[in-house]
Structure 1
Amino acid sequence: MSLRELVVLGTASQVPTRRRNHNGYVLVWDSEVVMFDPGEGTQRQMLLAGLPVSALTRICISHFHGDHCLGLPGVVQRLSLDRTAHPVSAHFPATGADYFARLRHASVFHETAEVRAEPVSMDGQQISTSAGTLQARRLQHPIETYGYRLVEPDGRRMLPERLAAYGIAGPAISELIRTGHLDVDGRRVPLDAVSEPRRGQRFAFVMDTGLCDNVYALAEGADLLVIESTFLTEDAELAAEAGHLTAAQAARVAAESGVRRLVLTHFSQRYPDPDRFAAEAREQFDGDLVVAADLIRVPVPPRLTSAGSSPAA
């Protein structure tokens, strides 16, 4: 079975705490290993999480505030130190190209890895990856900021009992998938007779934003949503002024968007008790809720059957 999980490296916002490192998230999605928002200390957090930097295939930066990008120099240099053999694409707001260039070459090192700068220049930009389509949506923050959404193509799930009933096995299954039909004992068996639709899985990453339409567009139908909840409702005015979400707003987005598993993160240092975020979110969202902590791993939920009731392969 393929591995799909989120590794949380850091969960603080502007100021780290004794228990919370600056931002950092790695999505392992089959052969794609995507880093989001590497804040200070990311390289060390990857070591503690047991993740080799050389495994990264892609880096996504939402914006160029320091808690979301100051770990980039160490990550880029480590890619070269480890002589990473494959190219690593880097996505970031195009208006921050100068910041990316400075961070990428922040100090002297022998550059051997191929880091490909692929800036995001428009709302709704789509990027092809081996895992599916990576979409970027413009968010509402004092500087240009993008959220990201990974969408796996829809496919079909083969039904073993129906395959067996038609006597289809082995290489014949591959031929059936390739051609859309198979002739068995003088009878044509279409693909939909032995399979059912399989909805592609969806992941969304939403950082540093006020509530806006694109927050919902990113979250819509996500199997796993990682979203900032910097403030609690008692500080809602401050959240709005700074371009951030409260835990209640993030949870309401998840509830209204049909999110299956919600991960809250990016917590202000003013709140020492993480249970308060869970309590506030529970008033809006009754689904699978994770209040993120550094170095936890959060699996992408198993697929649902076409009926939406039970896990499917």
Structure 2
Amino acid sequence: MRELVVLGTASQAPTRTRNHNGYLLRWDDQGILFDPGEGTQRQLLLAGVASSAVTRICLTHAHGDHTFGLPGILSRMSLDGVADPVPVHYPASADPVVRALVALARPGVDVRLHPHGAAGEVAPGLRVEPLRHRVETFGYRLTEPDGRTLRPALLEEAGVRGADVGVLVAQGRWRDVRLEDVSVPRRGQSFAFVMDTAPCDGAAALAQDVDLLVAESTYADEDAALAREHLHLTAGQAGALAGAAGVGTLVLTHFSSRYADVRPLAEQARAAAASSRRPGGVAVRTVDDLDRVPLPRRRSG
């Protein structure tokens, strides 16, 4: 299963309909929880997702609307008897805040703290890039390596059956049959998480060619002055980022409470993304709490 479970979509303050941030990326056997704001534990319950589904936690920065749910999540994992280690990734300058939040949690979870201070890979397939906010902030990108998809008709024609298929995949050859003889290229899927930032090179690097981009859209375009002041993105800037990067699907979130209706933000993002270089363009959507967004279908080649 590969999907984004949206747990909260508000920015600085929650509203009657939007909880603080929280996003769970379900990626095969991984469950990566991004920016658990206050109330994330309850939102997981409402979403029907067990705490044991969380296998890794990623924090973009130390602001409370992105971190105050951490003690609750870890406490629930302890109550539920989660035994596997839980890596927590975060900017190095946030270390005192993260350690204090972890100390508030019910003991019992094997928390592994992984601060980072520069761009690079922080776990297999997971890399960070610096963003531009009022405190040290990093975005995340998860990339699956390219692979190959087996073609049953070609396997049958080559006489490769049963356990021999596993040998072929593992070793790249079975007798005189090569893996490339019975398969076609499969492009790896990718996901990026860009939160709390003004436009910057790091955001562009994270978004490049990803299948699914989650981006903050705190302000409407007409409030661009506020976005500049607080170092956030407008909806149009999020759309321009996705269009220039060739993103497949753009998910807008992290909305200011001043917007009761966020549909105009989606329209602004679509207009800015219209010149996308990606075939088929960018699919743009806003999300509400508890929405689920599947990873787009794989691209061929």
**CA shift at 1:258, angstroms?**
1.3
3-state SS of paired residue (2:43)? helix
Q: Residue 114 of structure 2 aligns to which amino acid in structure 1?
A: E
Q: Which residue of 1 aligns with 2:278?
A: none
Matches within 5 A, 1:185-204: 188-204=176-192
Q: TM-score, normalised by structure 1?
A: 0.91
Q: Residue 243 of structure 1: which of 224, 228, 231 is its match?
A: 231
1:304 and 2:299 correspond: yes
Match among 156, 170, 179 for residue 171 of structure 2: 179
Distance 1:201 1:281 in 2: 23
Secondary structure (helix, strand or coil) at the match of 2:272 reads: coil
Q: SS of the residue aligned with 1:153?
A: coil
How far apart, CA to CA, are the structure 1 residues paired with 2:170 and 2:79? Answer: 42
Matches within 5 A, 1:101-116: 101-106=99-104, 109=106, 111-116=107-112
Question: Which residue identity is paired with 2:151?
Answer: L
- In terms of mean alpha carbon deviation, does 170-179 or 18-27 score higher? 170-179
Q: Distance in 1 between matches of 2:52 and 2:178?
A: 43
Alpha-carbon distance between aligned partners in 2 of 1:298 and 1:74, rounded to the nearest angstrom? 25
Identity %: 51
Instruction: Name the counterpart of 1:60.
Output: 58
1:228 corresponds, among 213, 216, 220, to: 216
DSSP-derived class of the 1:102 partner: helix
Report the CA distance between 1:172 and its aligned residue.
Answer: 1.5
The aligned counterpart of 2:277 is none
Cα offset, 1:122, TM superposition? 1.4
Tell whether 2:198 aligns with 1:210.
Answer: yes
Residue aligning to 1:158: 150
Q: Give the match for residue 128 of structure 1.
A: 123
Q: Which AA in structure 1 matches 2:146? A: D
How far apart are 1:182 and its partner, in Å? 2.4
Aligned to 1:41: 39
SS at match of 1:77: helix
1: CA distance, partners of 2:52 / 2:170: 34
Paired amino acid for 2:136: E
Residue type matched to 1:32 in 2?
Answer: Q
RMSD: 1.2
8 Å contact kept, 2:191–2:211: yes
Q: CA deviation at 1:249?
A: 0.8
Runs (4 or more) in structure 1 with deviation over 3 Å come to none
Cα distance between partner residues in 2 of 1:157 and 1:284: 35
Q: Which amino acid letter does the alignment assign opposite residue 294 of structure 1?
A: D
Displacement, 1:106?
2.4
Q: How far apart, in 2, do the equivalents of 1:304 and 1:102 lie?
A: 43
Aligned-residue offset at 1:152? 0.9
Post-superposition shift, 1:128?
A: 2.7
Find the aligned partners of 1:257 and 1:167 in 2 and give their Cα distance: 43
TM-score, normalising length from structure 2?
A: 0.95
Task: State the Cα distance separating 1:140 from its structure 2 match.
Answer: 0.3
Match of 1:13 in 2: 11
Q: Is the 8 A contact 2:246 2:282 kept in 1?
A: no
How far 1:179 sits from its partner (Å)? 2.4
> Structure 1 residues 89 and 196 mapped into 2: Cα distance closer, same or farther (>3 Å)?
same
Deviations 1:177-205 (A, max 9, x none): 2222222xxxx222211112211110100
SS in structure 2 at match of 1:157:
strand
Write the distance in 1 (CA, Å) between the matches of 2:95 and 2:144: 28
Partner amino acid, structure 1, of 2:13: V
Q: Distance in 1 between matches of 2:234 and 2:208?
A: 19
